Amino acid sequence: MKPSPFAYSAPQSLDEALAVLADVGGDGKVLAGGQSLLPILNMRLAAPAHVIDINRVAELSYVTVDADSVQVGALARHAEVEHDDPAYDALPLLRQALRLVAHPVIRNRGTTVGSLAHADPSGEMTAVLALTDGTVTAARAGSTREIAAADFFLGPLESCLEPGELAVAARFPRLPVRSGCTFVEVARRHGDYAVCGVAAVVTLDEGGLVVSARTAYISVAPTPLVLDLTEAVAGRAVRGVDWAAAGELAGTQVDPEADIHATADYRRHLARVLTGRALAEAAGRVAA
């Protein structure tokens, strides 16, 4: 239960961090909040030769909001994003999801961009990035690229980040006008990994009719799964919508696997029920 030996660098600037990463290549592992990486090191599930601690790269510690999106730097802690009022006003889904990420103490240290880079299929923020069509900015010495959520997650604990690259920021676009959102999940204990979690966004037109109903799922697929369920509810007045029908449609489109925590059928059942619940809640939150 102790990490195996590794070489350690604590760069003071982004340029220095990228230079170290370019130097160590595939042997390097980036340490930000460490709330997923340290358990992995402690249990020796991984033994990187070189750890690059970016906690002193102050320029990556920011949450900014503009007319289009919320941008989160690689050193912004979950708690900082959660408690940022402008970010909440721009995209309430961030705070709604972050409240379900582990426990308050873990959120004091863990970073939002780090949890995206970790690419855990039960990580709430992966679903938020996927549902909002967000992007991750990856930098390497001399260049940066913007990666769409749909391309970023390759599989369980696997992102498309390459050796020498650092995820420096994530961008979460605002929702369309007249949209409501929520994040609901079922976990064995509050703060544990979700057995199934659903992020939902419902958008209405000026007359209060549903024009879009989209959901994203954690813990039911190797990567965050986004579903467009609009066909089940489109054009209905928001008060009369049968959200359970959208849940039934979702149930036919998820294909979860069984593990020691739940059977595949139970996860599908949860996806069905939580979808209906999440869409109803999201619709109820559309600002009049």
Q: Which residues bind other proteins (CB under 8 A)?
A: 1-8, 10, 31, 34-35, 38-39, 41-43, 51, 53, 55, 79, 102-106, 108-109, 190-191
Closest CB to other proteins among residues 55, 230: 55
Closest CB to other proteins among residues 33, 247: 33
Closest CB to other proteins among residues 39, 176: 39
Tokens representing residue 250 in the block: 């979702």
Closest CB to other proteins among residues 108, 263: 108
Tokens representing residue 108 in the block: 């004091």
Smallest gap from Cβ 39 to other proteins, in A, equals 4
Q: Cβ neighbours of residue 271 under 8 Å, at least 6 residues apart?
A: 196, 198, 217, 220, 247, 250, 251, 254, 256
From the list 212, 287, 276, the residue with the least C-alpha distance to 247 is 276
Sign of CA dihedral 172, 18, 154, 157: negative
Residues in the chain: 288
Closest CB to other proteins among residues 190, 239: 190
Closest CB to other proteins among residues 157, 244: 157
Long-range contact pairs involving 243-247 (C-beta distance under 8 Å, separation at least 24):
243/275, 243/276, 243/277, 243/279, 243/280, 243/283, 244/276, 246/213, 246/275, 246/276, 246/279, 247/271, 247/272, 247/273, 247/274, 247/275, 247/276, 247/277, 247/279
Smallest gap from Cβ 43 to other proteins, in A, equals 6
Smallest gap from Cβ 109 to other proteins, in A, equals 5
Smallest gap from Cβ 37 to other proteins, in A, equals 9
- Per DSSP, the residues of 197-241 read EEEEEEEE-TTSBEEEEEEEEESSSSS-EEEE-HHHHTT-BGGG-
Smallest gap from Cβ 40 to other proteins, in A, equals 9
Closest CB to other proteins among residues 21, 136: 21
From the list 269, 268, 18, 273, the residue with the least C-alpha distance to 168 is 18
Smallest gap from Cβ 30 to other proteins, in A, equals 13
Smallest gap from Cβ 33 to other proteins, in A, equals 8
Closest CB to other proteins among residues 37, 130: 37
Q: Cβ neighbours of residue 214 under 8 Å, at least 6 residues apart?
A: 131, 200, 201, 226, 227, 228, 229, 230
Smallest gap from Cβ 231 to other proteins, in A, equals 38
Sign of CA dihedral 15, 17, 19, 21: negative
